[in-house]
Every structure is written in C-alpha cells, then in structure tokens.
Structure 1
C-alpha cells in the first residue's frame, strides 16, 4: 500500500538566532500590539504570565522590556506563526478569504468561462493552507497541510443584479461587514430573504433583527450553488447549461483524487521554490508531501474487521453482517417476540397499489433478482424469512393527499382500529416522499405521523416513494437496509459486536447533536443525543434507554445517564468497588475541562475507586487528506469512483493524542462524483486518564460496523451516529403540535432504537 498525506514537513535554515522581546501578559495589551505593529512584529502568548514579540523586518527591534536570544531550531513552537506570516507575505497578492487557516483565491484558470459571462459571476479554486504538526517517535514535526476546493462568488451588489434581470426575490442576501484586517477580503453577514423590491430597497422576511429592509446597493446575493447557477442561466440563456456542465467538470477535478493531489503538489512546490522567510537571516525549507516510504510517515495499520455475534453462545460469528444474518439468523431468534406481527401501512390513497407491491417484496423477498455477475439473490429471503418470523397481519390506512393533516387522519384511523379490536400495532410502515424534506418540520407528514405513533409506543419505519420506484436491481440494496432497521426498531437484536477480552468493565458513551429551525435565520432549537453501549460477556450491548435533551441541559443529562447506566450495570454484573472500570466518551465537540471535572466527581461519588476515562472528539472537519496510490478506482455510475482514495480500515497515528481513521473509504462511495473519501480525526483530550490511542481508534472503528440502521458500514461509530439521529429526530418532533417528549423519555418506545 503506497500512501501519501497532504502534509509537507518544514525545517529552518540560516542564521536561526533571533533577538526577541518579552513582557507580562495582558489580553488587551496583546490585542493593541498586534494591531499597531502588524507589519513589523509577531506576538505570541508564552505561558500563563508572559508574551513574546519577534521582529520580522531587518530594521525591527524587540518591544518587550526584557530581551532574549531565541534559537529557532530549538524553539520550534514559534514556527507556526512565523510560517503563517511568511506565507501571507509570499502569497498575499492573491485575495485572501481568511488568515488562519490561510485561504486564498486561486491564480489558475477560472472554473467557469464564457465571453458573455459578467465578471461579477465567478467560480474559482480556493487554496487552504494550515500550519499543523504531527509526532513521530516522540518527535514533533511541523509542516503545512494543504487542500483545494471550488467556490462561487457573486460580487455585484443587488442594484446591479436587478438591472441585469437577475432573479432576486425569494433568495437570501448578505451585507458586508467592516474590514478588521485590510489584507483580508471583507466578511459578509447573511441578513434575510428577499420578499419584495420597493424602489432602491429590498424588503426582507426571515431576517436578522434590524434588517427588515436593506438598500439594494448594499446587499449581495448569497452565492449558493443553485442561486449562482440560476444567475448563469439567466445571463447566458441557452448557452448557460453547457457552460455550467463544463464548470462542474472543472470543479470536480478539485475533489477527485488525481486532481486534488496534482493541485496540492503544485502548491507545495511553488512555496518550496520561494523559500519563505522565517525571520531576518533565516528561511523555511518546505519538504515534499510525506509518503509512506519516508521515515517521518506516521505509524499505520489496517484495522482488522470486527467479529459480529449471531447467538448468545458466541459460536456463530461473521465479519459480514448480511451474510451472518442469512446464514445464522438474528442474535435473539429464540427469544424475540411477537413472531406474528401486526403492521399498519399508511400511504397515499392514489399509491395504494404500488405500496402493496413494495410491501410484498419487502416481506417475502425478491428471489428472482440476482446480483450481477453472481449466482445469488441479494434479497431473496425477505424480511419474514431472514428474521425467522411468521406471516404478519397487515392493514392499510389511506391518506387523502400529501398534507400532514391527511397523514394524521390516516394514522389516527389506524390507532382507532387497534383500540376497537383490542390489540396494539407492533409496527407502522409509512410511505413518504423526498419532497417532504423541504417542508418545515411542524408540517412535515414524516414527523407528524411519527409523533402520533410514537406517543402510542408504536415504532415507525418510513419509506420514500422514490425508493419504492427503484428498479429491482437497485431496490434489493435498499431492502437490505430497511429490513435491518425495521427489526431493530421492533426491539430485536440482529447481532452483537464482539468485545475485546479485558480486565476492565467498559462503558462507551456517545454524544451527537442536531439543530432545527422553522427558517434559516429564525431561532434554532439544538438537541444533544446520548447513546450508551457497554461490554458484557465479551460483547457490546446497546443501553435499553436512549436520551436526548436541549443543548443547554446536556451536561446534566449526561451525568444522569452515566449514573443510571453505571448503577444498573454494576448491579447486573456484580461490580465491586475495587474493580477496574473504563469510561470512553465519543463526542461531536471537544470536551471542556469543567465537563471532565464533573464526570470525575460523579465516579468518585459512586464509589468507583479504580476508574480511567478517555474523552474523544471525533471530528469530520479537519485539514488532512490521505491518498492511496495503489487505488486505481472502482467502476461506478459516471465513471470510476474513489481513485487514489484510502481504504476503509486505514488508521494513521498522527501523534500521542490524534489519529486518522477511515470509517468509509473508496469502496463505500456511491458514484464517481463523490470525490475523495476523507478519514475522521480522533482527538484525545489531554486530561484523559486512559491514553491508548491504538486501542481507542480500533474500538471506534469497530463501532462503525455495529449499526443496525444499514448493512453497509457507517461513516462514523454508532456512538456518534445514533446520537446524531436521536437529536435530529427529537428536534424535528419538537416542532409538531401536541408532541410530548416524555413519550420517548419515559415511554416503552424509548427502550428501543426508535430513531433508526
């Protein structure tokens, strides 16, 4: 496996001894110095009580009342700020979007061109340069992490756009903010959506406070892709679409493996040739991108696929979930009840026939649909046979239209039928449409129907009309995922994830979040979901109760969930106070010191005397890209997907506290236009008392294979993914009239993965 990473190490050459100034640290004074001496000095807080200034011009002298000589070769902590400033001086002729990280508009050929295209419609490359460090064998290596992407701009104010006949009404607009740094392009603030045009003013709705109106000469149209492309079509008429298609292909080059690698290599080579200054008399040496044959390349491994258990004895195992289910059946086959399900189907009346055909395929399977090139049916068994169930009782309840009221009426008819018949529904399957996603949550039939059934402890499985319309050759894949999620929502256990045999009792707690709003600029409701799994008898079990609360309440709810889980598991597994206990937290955000201190206090109050904890931030957004030069691509719609993309299971150890893990790699991409798969960055909080990043990274990867939502691997561990889903679903349900969050918090449905 020939790998490279978009990280170019740097070193320093020349006269590396510089005279610097030092003075007592003061926050306001530091800000003043940076503003007054931006062109001649760099400043850095150095420790708790002092700050250092370094002259960056030959004629400059230290400003601090204490002067000292610093050897840059030995004091590498000053390199990032010196390197960043040097790059600004070197590349600052290009317009800059931001300084940290450095984002510059590309100097190459524009990504959209036409003789009649107005110059205020632009699509260009944006180069991002981050100053970062990695650690190899305990040695800190500083360098540049480079990336490139496409960005669209509409630079004309709205008065010019109106004169040109551009579509303005219904679009969002921004205003420019005063420039803080003259070297940086002015920032824009989104202020509202255009409802009407009155003279030289725009009348806005869904607006920020104080922006019910804005002058056309002060407003800028938001350059979202659909808005930008609408303006291009308006400007070029019939020629617009061919120009846009060519532009999309040019932009695609920046996200594809070969194109991205080529651009990044060119950026690094350009900087390398320019020998950026470090300080007067010295300069940085920028080395080529790190390749796996280099001595400084991070330690790497392909994480072994985790074993899935399909029976309590552990004798039935597989590392492929689909094959394991077909061969062995679900983990809880002998104890799952009821075997004969009562299922309510809610669908639009005009679609009853199509839905009926779909439900038959779902329940009984599609044995005649063979996988191309192989002699087996991907969904030949069907839901009933796969999960060892009896033939269910199915009733249809028809919605007279697509409104939330029509769906609500049909759902209540289903509940009335159950009440009158003296039974309860085990499951509701609801036909929805992709278009429902564009509706506000409070009027979305998906959330309306879900809220009605969940209040009566009935799990809901929705199916999009668009999915039902797939050709059978594609539908079988969706059926696989659908059947798995449905069984889990019923309270079934498809499989368990085998845990490593350890002395310590282990709990893994995941935090995810989601925000919802009735409008883009309206008040947001943010929820945090909490998922807990624990090891028992060598396997990982999902806690029988999920939690989701408003963002401001999550620290308290996290402590309550942790306390409840520890007390329950300790009683069930007969923990002693001296037993070794390990707590692992996966979070959507970095942990605060105060949160860690509160958790430490809780474990002390519970009488756990031998506890270690790992606090992990699993971050999808970071500057690192990994290339696998042995990956030639896989056939897919539109060409070849994943060229140069890293494989799932790859793990790179960047430092004692950071790892890159590829949860979804080149094989998991759906089409050629999906671009490069990116690893997730796993960051361990320094206050963690369990620090084995190899163990923690492997464990996080294993949890990405433990999803009961889909048979293919998840792009994140279920601890994060499930928590995100809990928060997302709860945020949507909160907008529905008469929704009662206690239905999930205290109802029986809260003890099942209702959110899948």
Structure 2
C-alpha cells in the first residue's frame, strides 16, 4: 500500500527556546489581552502567563526563561497554535477564522454547494459552505515527542439574516430553535464569533421574542437572534420563500453534490492543496521561536501486524473457516446440538392482508432456501441445523394501532401457543410517529414483555428478499439465543472478561446551560472468544450518583460471572473495559474501587476508549477501487485495506475497519479509521494484544455477516441504549422485562 494521510509533521530545529512569562493573577490575562492583543499572544499554564510577541523588537512584558522542548509539550503546542494563527492572519487578513479549533470557510464558489441552485435574491442569504479545519495534536513517535497538524473539513449551513429580518419577511419563527452570536471581547477584529444555541421561541411580540431557555423564559431582541443553522430550519425557510416542491428540489441537488465532494480523490487533492499553502508560510515569533510544517503528509508511524480472524463453529475448536457464511454452511452453528435449546422454534407472523401472499412466500424461502439468493440456498432449517419451524400466521385488516395491537395480543394469549419469536410487518412511514404511537415500538414493547423477541420485515423486502434472507435468518437465530460462531481463542492461563460500558444522558435539550438530569448505564459482557455472556442495565439515577450505581451494577455482574466460570483464588484475571469516550480519572478510580473488592484474584485491567468522530484520515493512493457486481460504479477508491493501522503514540492507534470491499456504494463517501486509546492508568497495556482483540471483536455482531465499525462490546451497548430509550416512551414499558431474555440478542 502507498499510504497517505491528512496528518503533517511540525518540525523544530532546536532543543531549547526562550519565552517570556509573568506570574498569573486574577484578571491579569484579560488585562494583557485587552492592552496588547494586537501584537502579542498570551496563554496560561500553571501559575504563569506565557507571552509570545508577534514581531521582532517589541518591548518585554515579562521575564525571559529558557525551556527544554522535551519538558513542556503543552507550552510548545500552545506556542505553535498562536504563532500559526498570527502567520495565517498576516497572510490572509480578510479571512476571520475561529481559534480553537482553527476553522475558516472556503472562498471557492464550488465549495458553496447551494449557491448555483438559488435564485439571485437568496444567493447572499443562504450558504452551504465547506469549512476547513486545522487542528494540532501532541504525539510521541519512537520515544520522541512531536506536534502534528491535521487538516480536515466539513460542510456547514448558514442563514445570514437575523430574526428581525425574517419577521419583516413574514417568516414565523415561533417554535423554532434559535441562537445568539457570541463575540470575543478582546479579539473581535481577528477571531470569528461563534453561534450558541440558547432555546426555542415561544412567542413574538413586535421586536421581542420570548425564548424558552435553560435559565427560564427570556425576552430577547429579534435583531440579536438567529435561526439555528440546521438542515431542518433551512428547509423551512426555503419552503416559505420558494414553496415545498422547489425547496425539496434544491436540497436534493445539494445532497447529490455533497456525495461528490466527499469523493476520496477530491478529499485527498484538497488536503494536498491546503497543505502546500500553509507549509509555505513563515512561522516565527519575536523571541525567535520558529518551526516548519511539512508539505507532505506523514504516515511515519509504527504499525501493528494484525491477523485476520477465523471463525469457529464447534466447541472442540477443530471446525474453522475464514468466511462466516461458508463455515456456517459447512459445519452448522457453533452451538449446534445440546447447547442450543430452541431447535423447533414457534414463530408468530403478523402482516397486512394485502401483503399476505408476499409474506407466505417469504416464509417458505426463509425456511427452505431461495436459489436466487446465492448464500441462502439451504434455508434456515438446514443452515442452522433446526429440527423444524412452526409458523402461526395472522392477517390484519389495517395498520390502525388499536386493531393491529389487538391482533397481536389475541395471538399471544392463545392457549398452547408459547411463541419463541415473532415476524412483524413494518413500514418506513411508521418512523414519523413518536414511539408511543408507532406500531413498531408498541408491538416490540408488548412482545418483549411476554418474552418474545421480534424480527421486523418491510413488505418490499418480503417480496424481493434476495439480499436480506441470510442476514434475517442470522438475526433470528441470535434472537432465539443461538451463537452462530465465535472466534478461536489461544490457550491462556488468565481468565479474560471484556466489558462494554455505555451510558445515556437524559437531559431536557441541547441548549446552553442544559442540566444532565439523569443517566442510565448499559454494560455488555463477553468472553475472550467473543462469546456474548449477557448485558445489564443500571438504575436510572442522578448524574452525581452514576458512578456509585455503575460500581454496584458491575460488581453484581462480575460476581455472577466469576461463580459461573469458576474463577479460583490466586488465578490471573484480565478485565478489559471498552468505553465510548476517554475515561476521566474519576471513572477510573470507581473501577479501581471495584477491582479492590476482589483481592482473591490477581487482576490486571485496561480501559480502552473508541472514537468514530475525529479528524484523522488514511488514504491508500494505490487503491483504484473495486467494480460493483450489481452496477457500473467503482467503490472504495483510495480506501486502505481493512486492518490498516497507525500507532500515533504509545497506547493510541488508528485502525481502518472498512476496506474497499466493505464499501456498499460509491455514494457512501469515505469512511475513516477508528481511534483507539488505552488509558494511561491501565495495568494491562499490551497495545498489540488489545488492538488485535478489537479487530477480532468487529467480526461477531450477528447483525450481518460483514464486520462492524465498532467492537461488538460497544456495538451491542449502543443498540441496547438506543432501543431502551425508544421503549421507555411506550406506556407500560419496564426495562425489567428484558431480564428473562438474558442470553438472547433481542436488540440486534
């Protein structure tokens, strides 16, 4: 592979440097910025304010001290950020960027995706522009501390008219979300202001809007308010000005252009163009601190040699295959025989009478196979080694909520009809309703509380099931409690437990000042071979009580697992925690308390966090893409092979999990790598082992036969969290209903 990236190295040619500083006191930093911001930059670290003069021969504002580059990475990165900002502003005085992160809109017309679609009267009012972002990250490569520059971009909406102008046009802002413009008092001439969402408009009286905020209702002048820059608000405004049909046409054209702009060839080219500009600037302050930015992207990071996982289909560890679907067809599921209890499932099927023909045909193909589906010719009975499947078929007259639910309830209450799973027809338009009114969530809630897992099928898929039969049968088998395959594990003297920790914050809104009222924790538990043990949901508690509740919940689960798996005193136990975000020291301390409660075991632990939203991109310049079997497009251009990885520094790894063959269509754009961090306070820190394990655990979700973008530990936690949040809105739902489904993947 010929790898490239959006990461550029910043090079310092010295080991020591001189910098001015003065002792910090309350209000002094603001005073310095107010008086000297035009020619100096200031930042605080510890008990000092550090000073960077923008030009030579400016008066000293503090004492001069000498600092070693290796000793003060925070001061280095702050200096680099401030000097970069000043150099950019000197070169491009008409551009007003934000500072941290450093962002600025592109001035190229092709980077405003809506301008050509708008009539002349709106071209200056609305934009959907590319926003360039430049960030600085600390790194350590081969033991040497480095500062890296990362170039990324996104597209952002803008509606430049304030709410007073909108009112004058007759546009009703009542019920819409609004924002205020926050300006930086001492930097208005050089730093762009930012928008802060504050609340929802309750009413408008003349020039004053009453806004519902997290500090109560506030009366605010319309000229000081702007609509939140969201797609929905832009759509409403366009519909008001141009009508629904024209607005939808414009937004559809913009979406198509956006697909094109995220073509990896274009992304890579535009990153290279911007890097040439910024690498050509002079970066130097008045005290002689200087650096260079490489024009060429860097991939000079260590990488790990990862093994592609095989799939295991028997407890004796002899039946393996590199393909899950081929292994399943040859050997049957991992738990075939005495380990799977539902070999003759009873299935409730509910569909509309107008779809009954499609569904009866679908059920026949699901049960016995379909020759037009190349990976599902055997059918579910033979593929999963079932004895038989019994279907109980129910037709409904309409999708009226009351009648539909009555039909399901009547079937479930039939004597001698203890169903294991249900197949229920659903429609895309159901999603427009709230969960409390949505047949999908009402049916799921009712069936789960009766211990019946659910598989939803759309009519279109029932009529043309060629591409969904294999994944549908896979999900159903997992929802019945089955384990289609696991991952072979090497002999190990340590017991190993992998715990996915997810949580959901229950808050009123997204506006400034919103309080995080309550939090619910979701934990999933897996063995080293990726076998799902069970999941657990903590109580809904106030945020300040969350960590204690998490501790209690984890202890109860570990007690259960240690008893079931017969951990013996003195044995080595390795617990690896997977979390969605970097753990704070407070959270680590809570888990440390947990570990301390098991002195009878020799426990090593690791805290591993994952980030999908970060600025890093990796390209493979030799990858020209793969032609699709089903149409004439080429997918996966410049996409690195699955498993490509870069160790940005010890304990921090970029791992590419979607290779060119995993890209579904050319409209999917470019999928970046997963960012993996091992917390510095972990006692188990083998990065190669941990990253390899993460790579393996993306192959075992049972939602499809393809790998996922997250390890199953967190993928399951996110699915459970999302569904419990929806189910919570349904009358009569209680999360305790799922306790009876302990080993069944009801949520996939």
Give the TM-score, by structure 2 length.
Answer: 0.88
1:343 aligns with 2:341: no
Structure 2 CA distance for aligned equivalents of residues 518 and 492 of structure 1:
39
Structure 1 CA distance for aligned equivalents of residues 325 and 15 of structure 2:
63
Structure 1 CA distance for aligned equivalents of residues 580 and 392 of structure 2:
41
Cα shift at 1:337? 2.3
The equivalent position to 2:526 in structure 1, one of 528, 533, 544, is 533
Q: Which residue of 1 aligns with 2:359?
A: 355
Distance 1:122 1:479, change over 3 A: same
Cα shift at 1:526? 5.1
The equivalent position to 2:472 in structure 1, one of 478, 482, 493, is 482
Cα shift at 1:233? 6.8
Structure 2 CA distance for aligned equivalents of residues 198 and 618 of structure 1:
48
- Report if the CA contact (8 A) 1:365-1:382 is conserved: yes
Q: Which residue of 2 aligns with 1:701?
A: 695
Structure 1 CA distance for aligned equivalents of residues 461 and 510 of structure 2:
28
| 1:22-101 → structure 2 map (5 Å cutoff) | 22-23=22-23, 37-46=36-45, 50=48, 52-61=50-59, 63-64=61-62, 67-70=64-67, 77-92=74-89, 93=93, 96=96, 98-101=98-101
Q: Which residue of 1 aligns with 2:330?
A: 327
| 1:405-420 → structure 2 map (5 Å cutoff) | 405-417=402-414
Distance 1:647 1:15, change over 3 A: closer
Structure 2 CA distance for aligned equivalents of residues 190 and 30 of structure 1:
27
Q: Which residue of 1 aligns with 2:677?
A: 683
Q: Which residue of 1 aligns with 2:540?
A: 550
- Report if the CA contact (8 A) 1:3-1:629 is conserved: yes
- Report if the CA contact (8 A) 1:94-1:105 is conserved: no
Q: Which residue of 2 aligns with 1:313?
A: 316
Give the secondary-structure state (helix, strand or coil) at the position aligned to 1:299: coil
- Report if the CA contact (8 A) 1:253-1:260 is conserved: no
What 5-or-longer segments of structure 2 have no aligned partner?
Answer: none
Distance 1:582 1:278, change over 3 A: farther
**RMSD of equivalent CA atoms:** 3.3
Structure 1 CA distance for aligned equivalents of residues 665 and 393 of structure 2:
36
Q: Which residue of 2 aligns with 1:373?
A: none
- Report if the CA contact (8 A) 1:82-1:279 is conserved: no
Q: Which residue of 1 aligns with 2:497?
A: 507
1:118 aligns with 2:123: yes
Structure 2 CA distance for aligned equivalents of residues 604 and 15 of structure 1:
43
1:567 aligns with 2:569: no
Structure 1 CA distance for aligned equivalents of residues 412 and 540 of structure 2:
30
Cα shift at 1:694? 1.4
- Report if the CA contact (8 A) 2:521-2:550 is conserved: no
Cα shift at 1:610? 2.2
Cα shift at 1:5? 1.6
Distance 1:285 1:449, change over 3 A: same
1:422 aligns with 2:416: yes
Report Cα offsets for 1:149-207 as digits up to 9, x if no partner. 22221111234345557686775443434545524433334355668877656687x87
Structure 1 CA distance for aligned equivalents of residues 697 and 268 of structure 2:
31
Question: Could you tell which deviates more after superposition, 337-346 or 250-259?
Answer: 250-259
- Report if the CA contact (8 A) 1:21-1:62 is conserved: no
Structure 2 CA distance for aligned equivalents of residues 709 and 548 of structure 1:
25
Q: Which residue of 1 aligns with 2:483?
A: 493
1:657 aligns with 2:651: yes
Structure 2 CA distance for aligned equivalents of residues 653 and 261 of structure 1:
21
Distance 1:233 1:600, change over 3 A: closer
Q: Which residue of 2 aligns with 1:374?
A: none
- Report if the CA contact (8 A) 1:512-1:722 is conserved: no
Structure 1 CA distance for aligned equivalents of residues 484 and 268 of structure 2:
41
The equivalent position to 1:267 in structure 2, one of 257, 274, 291, is 274
Give the secondary-structure state (helix, strand or coil) at the position aligned to 1:570: helix
Cα shift at 1:652? 1.2
Give the secondary-structure state (helix, strand or coil) at the position aligned to 1:751: coil
Distance 1:94 1:284, change over 3 A: farther
Q: Which residue of 2 aligns with 1:4?
A: 4
Structure 2 CA distance for aligned equivalents of residues 316 and 439 of structure 1:
47
Structure 1 CA distance for aligned equivalents of residues 247 and 439 of structure 2:
37
What 5-or-longer segments of structure 1 have no aligned partner?
Answer: 371-376
Cα shift at 1:71? 5.8
| 1:180-259 → structure 2 map (5 Å cutoff) | 181-182=187-188, 183-191=190-198, 210-211=216-217, 216-228=222-234, 231=237, 247-248=254-255, 250-259=257-266
Structure 1 CA distance for aligned equivalents of residues 162 and 632 of structure 2:
37
Q: Which residue of 1 aligns with 2:297?
A: 290
Give the secondary-structure state (helix, strand or coil) at the position aligned to 1:586: strand
- Report if the CA contact (8 A) 2:138-2:146 is conserved: yes
Report Cα offsets for 1:72-103 as digits up to 9, x if no partner. 69855433222222232233445556321111
Distance 1:569 1:517, change over 3 A: closer
- Report if the CA contact (8 A) 1:441-1:518 is conserved: no
Give the TM-score, by structure 1 length.
Answer: 0.87
